[in-house]
Amino acid sequence: MRTSAGQWTLNGTVVPNLGACPDLDFGFTPATNLPPLRRLALEVGQAAAAPAAWLDVAAEMLTLLPQRYGRRTEALYWYESPSVAYAVLLEVTPEGFVRRYPGLWEAQV
């Protein structure tokens, strides 16, 4: 949960060093990409950092997840998270929902 002061908490305890993270990343669903994609509203050719407070459910931890999105086309975003050595080309719908997350998830149409 994020407090009105912009601090992230887990089980009622403030987690330090996450104040610059506007988004909460749920690693278990591609829906987690929708808020930063909409908030960033990148034009084709633009890129931006999007650090997130990452909820690691298995470890019951909330940690900093550095992320970056780069819009390649109307429907393709380059996504990378250097701290976990992960990068992939996301395919999204016009509304910003992830349609294809290579190797992890694909929408059934």
Tens of pLDDT, residue by residue, the chain (109 residues): 788 888 999 999 999 999 889 999 988 888 899 999 999 999 999 999 999 999 988 889 999 999 999 999 999 999 999 998 999 999 999 988 999 988 887 888 7
Structural domain contains residue 1: no
Phi, psi at residue 13, to the nearest 5°?
A: -110, 130
Q: How many domains does the chain have?
A: 1
Range of the domain at 73: 8-106
Structural domain contains residue 26: yes
Q: Residue 41: what pLDDT?
A: 96
Q: Residue 28: what pLDDT?
A: 84
Tell whether pTM > 0.95. no
Torsion of CA 66, 29, 98, 44, to 10 degrees: -10
